[in-house]
Chain A
């Protein structure tokens, strides 16, 4: 079982892929928020915030997540995870990566695919793979 975080799902969307792996339901909301909020990239030599319409983004999410399996914690387990995160001094937005990694570990995943290896390194011992390498081999 392989876990794809939100960043990996956005990479899959750009590649028009519908991966068959595991993620959290929360990734769907992060996917939507990220694309409708915009990505800052270079367009004709100018740094530009490129946004996508809510309708296009919802359709993109439907296609990209179509074959994904979803796993999530219930309330008590999520609260338990917060306690564990607090013991590890996880702060601010790092809790998002902690929860992604915790769900992956609980689901028995051996690998997390993410563009954000740097942050995940501090919250998991699972193997971390860059989406470019992962999608190239799968």
Chain B
């Protein structure tokens, strides 16, 4: 997603809504990218067994793994 610096000033909540939903938003000024706003989430440390007990679909887990791998490789 993309927003302008002007939109950030005028309607900050609207710009951040997709970020809160997990999307990255690129901010541009005069058509050039100047920054990206990336989602952040609460952190929880748990044991492997606690994690295995969580009801996570294969699709969600695959997405989480792919995103985490992309992050560590960046």
A interface residue numbers (CB < 8 A to B): 6-7, 10-11, 13-14, 16, 30, 33-34, 37-43, 46-53, 56, 60, 93, 96, 115-116, 130-132
Residues of B within 8 A of A39 (CB): 61, 64-65, 68
Known contacts A16-B52, A48-B42: A93-B74 contact under CB 8 Å:
yes
Residues of A within 8 A of B69 (CB): 6-7, 30, 34, 96, 116
Contact B51 A49 (CB under 8 A): no
Shortest CB-to-CB span from B4 to chain A, Å, is: 26
Residues of A within 8 A of B39 (CB): 47
Residues of B within 8 A of A16 (CB): 52
Q: Does B32 contact A (CB under 8 A)?
A: no
Q: Which A-chain residue is minimally distant from B47 (CB atoms)?
A: A56
| Partner pick for B71 among A37, A115, A132, CB 8 A cutoff | A37
Known contacts A50-B46, A56-B48: A40-B65 contact under CB 8 Å:
no
Q: How large is the interface on B (under 10, 10 to 19, 20 to 34, 35 or more residues)?
A: 20 to 34
Q: Which B-chain residue is minimally distant from A52 (CB atoms)?
A: B48
Shortest CB-to-CB span from B71 to chain A, Å, is: 7
Q: How far is the CA of A56 from the CA of B49 in the complex (A)?
A: 10
Residues of B within 8 A of A50 (CB): 43-46, 51, 54
Residues of A within 8 A of B64 (CB): 39-41
Contact A60 B48 (CB under 8 A): yes
Q: List 16 A-B contacts (CB under 8 A).
A: A11-B61, A11-B62, A30-B69, A30-B73, A34-B72, A37-B71, A40-B41, A41-B60, A43-B54, A46-B42, A49-B43, A50-B44, A50-B54, A93-B70, A116-B66, A116-B69
